[in-house]
């Protein structure tokens, strides 16, 4: 391919990619969300007055008070997400064939999460979703040079840097045709990533003119060059190229992929095999990075899977697809609280004055001193005597504003669904049972948000499984803690172990169908800890029924090391061992009453008594074959 033709194709590709990116920038849905999201983040951080409002208040001498109830609500919501941690498990659909592989995948997934410090990234994603209505995580395979093995990197991009397909409606973006990410980067860092384009990037920066790109994004100032901090904003875009797959289905024989064959050849195969031609659309994922009209990178189907690397999380969504946050619903009430409180304080601190012309020596000085608690007001002689000056306090106005303020506080609790009992505040409810019921009612309000967290975790696990079954195909060893088969000590796990004698692979995780199960339990660092938590919850409930029922329950559970647990249950249900035959030599007359009773029970014959010693001895000798002298 000639350089001219290649350059022309690259120009056409960049034009196509810029069009995708521009469609997300111009989308009314996502443009409205970005403006609303920035406002929500500002309110969370306490920036709840505009510059114009602050100037007006300052000129008036009125304080811009902030009673940040949004932070209180978000703290409660995110605190509940931390309390309801879950663990992710993989369970093979073909049991017991894929049962061991499912346990290995669960351990490997937890191992990946620990390397990426996933629990902290998950908290950041939840906070983005709770505050702005939308959060996102990015998952890509990589290579661990230290361990010399494949790895999977999970990151938490800034949600304001993400530009998705505006026409995607599915929660998991399975119907999205593209997703773009446009973070700011240092010029030298970008040149180090793409050394072939170092000169071109330097030229773009040096030739930059202070003219905004027509695709300026109001939320993040989306221009390609930032001359003040020497930064450039590349656009990384992942998009779907649809492909058609043609397959000939044959009876009692494997199917044939004929996508690359000619029409005549396909017809010939259909006649020869008496098969049926099926057509389906598949996805091929492409990735590119560009700055303005400069294409830095383009890769076709780099990871051999059919999913985009971004997994979104939504708090709620409007019918038009715009993410909707909890904060945006209570911002009007938050404004009312701030303004009522500010106005009430202003009325308490300022009084009105009525006076006749000439009663005040210096009206400007009088107005300033009237606002001060220690101010001194100078009147002309005789003004007080003639009642030419009168101060009117604004107490009634301040009380009215505070009544509305308190009402707004109650309203924001009702709209958010978080009642005072859930926050530990003063309440009219006195009984512990009543408070517990009201706290449970508050938790019901956020169940939908918690359910969306579970959906996102499941989508992340499914994307991770696709990467693993492609890239973790060779033999690999990783370490876990608390192996039940090794006395709960640290041990290693090896996957994809080849057997060169028979050509099979044991612990093969690259094949098989698995269900992703999200279980609500305490977040743990190893799967054995999760299993211990699960057993600790279940066993006390069936302990009164005996160990037999516990064995039945364990046999139906999907636990690693289940065989060892069942063996321990078998040991608990074994009958008491038989008493061995013994020979006793005692002096019966000298034995105490307690000793005699003990020996009677030991010999299994309580009929022996002191008045009939000889008869009792003969009976013991005959029935138990023991000798007592």
Q: Report pLDDT digits (tens) over 310-366.
A: 999 999 998 888 999 989 989 999 999 999 888 888 877 777 777 777 777 777 777
pLDDT tens digits, 428-452: 656 665 656 665 666 677 888 888 9
Pick the range with the lowest mean pLDDT from 8-22, 122-136, 414-428: 414-428
* Burial class, 381, CB count within 10 angstroms (exposed 0-12 / middle 13-18 / buried 19+): exposed
Mean pLDDT of 27-56: 93
pLDDT, position 496: 66
Residue 433 CA to residue 207 CA, distance in Å, equals 71
Rounded-to-integer distance, Cα 145 and Cα 362, Å: 80
Specify which residues 225 forms β-bridges with.
Answer: 232
pLDDT for residue 202: 87
More confident call, 377 vs 619: 377
pLDDT at 271: 81
Identify whether the C-beta of residue 619 lies closer than 8 Å to the C-beta of residue 607: yes
Give the residue with greater pLDDT, 604 vs 521.
604
Measured in Å, how far apart are the chain's first and last C-alpha atoms?
112
> In this structure, are residues 302 and 287 in contact, taking their beta carbons and an 8 Å threshold?
yes
Cβ contacts of 506 within 8 Å, gap of 6 or more? 497, 499
* Phi, psi (deg, nearest 5) at residue 84: -105, 55
Q: How far apart (Å, rounded) are the C-alpha atoms in residues 10 and 4? A: 10
In this structure, what DSSP letter does residue 26 have? H
Q: Which residue has the tokens 């490997």?
A: 108
List pLDDT tens digits, range 454-503.
Answer: 999 999 999 998 998 888 877 777 666 544 444 444 566 676 666 555 55
Selected residue with higher pLDDT from 140 and 512: 140
Contact (CB, 8 A) for 231 and 184: yes
- Higher pLDDT residue, 95 or 514? 514
| Residue 579 CA, distance from chain mean position | 60
Helix (H) or strand (E) holding 494: strand 489-495
The mean pLDDT value for 105-132 works out to: 87
pTM, two decimal places: 0.74
H or E stretch including 312?
Answer: strand 310-314
CA distance 357 to 380: 10
384-417, pLDDT tens digit by residue? 666 777 777 777 778 888 888 888 888 787 777 7
Point out which residues pair with 186 in neighbouring strands.
231
Answer for the pair 336, 70: CB distance below 8 angstroms, yes or no: no
Closest among 162, 155, 119 to 138, alpha carbons compared? 155
Cβ(392)–Cβ(351) under 8 Å? yes
What's the pLDDT band for 204 if we cut at 50, 70, 90? Answer: confident
DSSP string, 71-88: HHHHHHHHHHHHHT-EEE
Q: What are phi and psi of 25, to 5 degrees?
A: -65, -40
Residue 309, pLDDT score = 95
């Amino acid at each position: 391919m000639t350089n001219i033709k290649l350059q022309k194709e690259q120009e056409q590709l960049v034009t196509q990619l810029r069009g995708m990116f521009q469609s997300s920038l111009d989308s009314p849905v996502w443009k409205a969300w970005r403006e609303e999201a920035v406002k929500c983040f500002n309110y969370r951080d306490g920036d709840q007055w505009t510059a114009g409002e602050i100037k007006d208040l300052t000129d008036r001498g009125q304080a811009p008070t902030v009673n940040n109830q949004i932070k209180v609500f978000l703290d409660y919501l995110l605190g509940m997400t931390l309390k309801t941690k879950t663990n992710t498990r993989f369970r093979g659909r073909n049991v017991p064939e894929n049962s061991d592989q499912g346990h290995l995948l669960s351990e490997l997934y937890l191992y990946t999460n620990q390397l990426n410090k996933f629990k902290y990234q998950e908290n950041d994603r939840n906070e983005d979703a709770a505050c702005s209505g939308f959060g996102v995580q990015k998952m890509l395979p990589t290579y661990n040079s230290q361990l010399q093995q494949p790895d999977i990197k999970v990151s938490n991009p800034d949600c304001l840097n993400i530009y998705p397909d505006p026409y995607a409606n599915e929660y998991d973006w399975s119907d999205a045709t593209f997703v773009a990410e446009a973070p700011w980067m240092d010029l030298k860092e970008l040149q180090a990533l793409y050394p072939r384009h170092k000169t071109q990037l330097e030229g773009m920066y040096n030739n930059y003119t202070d003219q905004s790109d027509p695709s300026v994004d109001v939320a993040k100032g989306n221009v390609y060059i930032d001359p003040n901090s020497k930064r450039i904003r590349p656009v990384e875009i992942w998009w779907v190229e649809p492909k058609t797959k043609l397959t000939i289905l044959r009876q009692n024989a494997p199917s044939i992929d004929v996508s690359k064959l000619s029409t005549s050849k396909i017809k010939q195969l259909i006649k020869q095999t008496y098969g049926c031609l099926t057509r389906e659309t598949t996805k091929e994922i492409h990735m590119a990075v560009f700055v303005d009209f400069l294409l830095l990178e383009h890769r076709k189907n780099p990871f051999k899977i059919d999913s985009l690397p971004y997994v979104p999380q939504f708090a709620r969504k409007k019918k038009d697809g715009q993410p909707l946050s909890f904060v945006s619903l209570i911002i009007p009430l938050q404004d009312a609280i701030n303004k009522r409180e500010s106005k009430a304080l202003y009325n308490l601190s300022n009084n009105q004055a009525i006076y006749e012309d000439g009663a005040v020596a210096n009206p400007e000085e009088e107005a300033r001193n009237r606002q001060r608690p220690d101010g001194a007001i100078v009147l002309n002689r005789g003004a007080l005597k003639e009642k030419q000056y009168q101060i009117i306090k604004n107490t009634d106005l301040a009380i009215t504003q505070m009544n509305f303020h308190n009402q707004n506080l109650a309203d924001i609790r009702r709209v958010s669904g978080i009642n005072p009992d859930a926050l530990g505040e003063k309440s009219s409810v006195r009984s512990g049972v009543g408070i517990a019921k009201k706290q449970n009612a508050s938790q019901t309000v956020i169940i939908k948000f918690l359910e969306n967290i579970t959906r996102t975790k499941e989508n992340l696990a499914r994307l991770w499984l696709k990467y693993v079954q492609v890239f973790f195909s060779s033999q690999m060893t990783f370490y876990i803690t608390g192996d039940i088969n090794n006395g709960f000590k640290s041990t290693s796990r090896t996957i994809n172990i080849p057997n060169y004698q028979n050509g099979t692979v044991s612990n093969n995780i690259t094949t098989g169908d698995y269900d992703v199960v999200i279980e609500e339990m305490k977040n743990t660092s190893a799967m054995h800890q999760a299993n211990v938590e699960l057993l600790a919850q279940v066993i006390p409930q069936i302990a009164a029924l005996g160990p037999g029922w516990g064995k039945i329950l364990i046999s139906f559970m999907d636990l690693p090391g289940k065989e060892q647990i069942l063996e321990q249950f078998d040991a608990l249900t074994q009958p008491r061992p038989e008493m061995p035959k013994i020979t006793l030599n005692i002096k019966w007359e000298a034995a105490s009453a307690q000793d005699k009773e003990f020996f009677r029970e030991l010999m299994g014959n309580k009929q022996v008594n002191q008045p009939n010693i000889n008869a009792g001895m003969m009976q013991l000798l005959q029935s138990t074959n023991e000798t007592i002298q």
